C-alpha cells in the first residue's frame, strides 16, 4: 500500500472521505474481515449477524473511499480490499487488531463460515469424483496446455500438484524420475487417484494426500515445482495459494499455474461451483510478485469450443 503523499490519486476531498470511512467501528471490523479475502454481502450478513441494509450502507462508504473494490459474479457483488489504498488503512487495521475485543468473535465467526464453505466444496467434488474425467472434458481445454505444464516440470526432483483431482496430470508424467505428491480437498478424488495409479502399474514415485491448501503441512523449502491446474478459480482468496507455494518451494523452484482467462460464462459457476470467472494476466502477475516470486512467462491457449486458458509460471529467487 502507498502513503497518502505517494498516492497522487487521493485529492483533499478523497482523503477526507477516507478518514470518515475509517472513523466507525463496524467499518473497521469489515476491513479486518476483508484481510481474509473477498466476500459478498450475504457472506458478511452471516459472519457479523447484521442486517443486509446496514452492511450494504457501510460497504458503500468504504467503496466510495476507495478502501474496497468489487466485482460481480453470477448476480452477486464480491468486495475485497483495494491494493492501491494508502498505508494508513493497514496501520489502522493493525491498531484495531490489538485493541478491539469484538475482533476475536468476528474471527471465530469468520473461521466457521470459511470452514463451512470448504466442507461444501469438498462434498461437491466427492459427488463429482466418479465422473470427473467426463466433467473435465466439458472444459474443452487445449491439450497443448497440459503438454506445456509437463515440459515445465522436466528434471524437477519433487513436484507438488495442488487440487490434483483423480491424478491424471501427475500420471501423465509416467516413466519420469523424481517424486510427486498430489493434494486434493476431496477424499473421494484421492481414492480415485490412488485406484487409477494402481491400475497404471507404473514405477513412478507418486503419493496422494487429502488436504486443504491453507492447512496442509508440507515440508518447507522442499519442492522444486508446485502446480495448480484449474484450482485458482475455486479459491475464495487465491493469494493464499501463492503464499503457501512460496513456503514449500526451494530457491529457484517454479510455481506453475493453469486456469481460465477472464470470461463471462456463468455456466461454470452454476455447474462446477467456480468462484472466479477466470483471471487477467495483470492480476496473476500482481499476486505472484506480491508473494515474492519473479514473474517469468505467460502462455495463452485458445479454447476448443470452451473458454481460453493460460499457463503461467514464476520462480522463487535464489
Residues of each domain in the chain carrying CATH 1.10.10.10? 12-100
The second-level CATH assignment, the architecture, of 131-315 is 3-Layer(aba) Sandwich (3.40)
Predicted local distance difference test score (pLDDT) of residue 214? 83
- pTM score over 0.85: no
What confidence tier does 5 reach under pLDDT thresholds 50, 70, 90? very low
- Given a contact cutoff of 8 angstroms between Cβ atoms, the answer to whether 189 and 164 are in contact is yes
Cell of 218: 508440507
pLDDT at 198: 86
Q: Maximum distance among all alpha carbons in the chain?
A: 68
The answer to whether 255 and 226 have CB atoms below 8 angstroms apart is yes
Measured in degrees and rounded to the nearest 5, phi and psi for residue 283 equal -65, -45
CATH code assigned to 12-100 = 1.10.10.10
H/E element, 40: strand 39-40
| CB-based contacts of 79, cutoff 8 Å, min separation 6 | 34, 38, 39, 40, 59, 62, 63, 68, 69, 70
Query: Which grid coordinates belong to 41?
Result: 454481502
16-57 residue pLDDT tens: 888 888 888 888 888 888 877 788 888 888 888 889 999 999
Mean pLDDT of 300-318: 88
* Whole-number Å distance between alpha carbons of 276 and 290: 20
List where CATH 3.40.50.150 sits in the chain: 131-315
Amino acid at each position: 500500500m502507498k502513503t497518502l503523499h505517494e498516492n497522487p490519486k487521493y485529492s483533499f476531498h478523497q482523503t477526507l472521505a477516507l478518514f470518515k470511512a475509517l472513523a466507525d467501528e463496524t467499518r473497521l471490523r469489515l476491513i479486518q474481515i476483508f484481510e481474509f479475502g473477498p466476500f459478498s454481502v450475504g457472506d458478511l450478513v452471516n459472519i457479523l449477524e447484521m442486517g443486509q441494509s446496514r452492511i450494504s450502507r457501510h460497504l458503500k462508504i468504504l467503496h466510495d473511499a476507495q478502501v474496497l473494490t468489487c466485482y460481480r459474479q453470477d448476480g452477486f457483488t464480491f468486495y475485497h480490499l483495494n491494493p492501491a489504498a494508502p498505508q494508513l488503512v493497514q496501520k489502522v487495521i493493525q491498531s484495531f487488531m490489538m485493541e478491539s475485543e469484538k475482533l476475536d468473535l468476528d474471527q471465530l465467526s469468520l473461521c466457521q463460515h470459511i470452514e463451512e464453505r470448504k466442507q461444501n466444496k469438498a462434498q461437491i467434488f466427492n459427488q463429482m469424483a466418479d465422473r470427473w474425467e467426463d466433467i473435465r472434458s466439458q472444459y474443452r481445454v487445449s491439450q497443448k496446455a497440459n503438454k506445456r505444464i509437463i515440459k515445465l516440470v522436466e528434471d524437477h526432483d519433487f513436484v507438488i500438484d495442488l487440487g490434483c483431482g483423480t491424478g491424471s496430470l501427475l500420471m501423465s508424467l509416467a516413466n519420469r524420475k523424481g517424486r510427486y505428491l498430489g493434494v486434493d480437498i476431496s477424499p473421494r478424488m484421492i481414492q480415485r487417484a490412488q485406484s487409477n495409479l494402481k491400475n497404471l502399474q507404473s514405477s513412478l514415485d507418486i503419493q496422494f494426500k487429502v488436504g486443504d491448501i491453507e492447512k496442509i503441512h508440507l515440508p518447507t523449502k522442499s519442492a522444486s515445482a508446485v502446480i495448480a491446474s484449474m484450482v485458482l478459480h475455486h479459491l475464495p482468496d487465491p493469494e493464499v495459494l501463492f503464499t503457501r507455494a512460496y513456503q514449500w518451494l526451494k530457491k529457484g523452484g517454479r510455481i506453475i499455474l493453469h486456469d481460465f482467462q477472464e470470461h463471462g460464462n456463468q455456466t461454470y459457476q452454476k455447474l462446477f461451483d467456480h468462484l472466479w470467472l477466470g483471471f487477467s494476466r495483470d492480476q496473476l502477475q500482481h499476486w505472484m510478485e506480491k508473494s515474492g516470486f519473479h514473474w517469468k512467462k505467460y502462455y495463452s491457449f485458445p479454447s476448443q469450443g470452451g473458454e481460453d486458458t493460460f499457463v503461467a509460471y514464476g520462480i522463487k529467487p535464489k
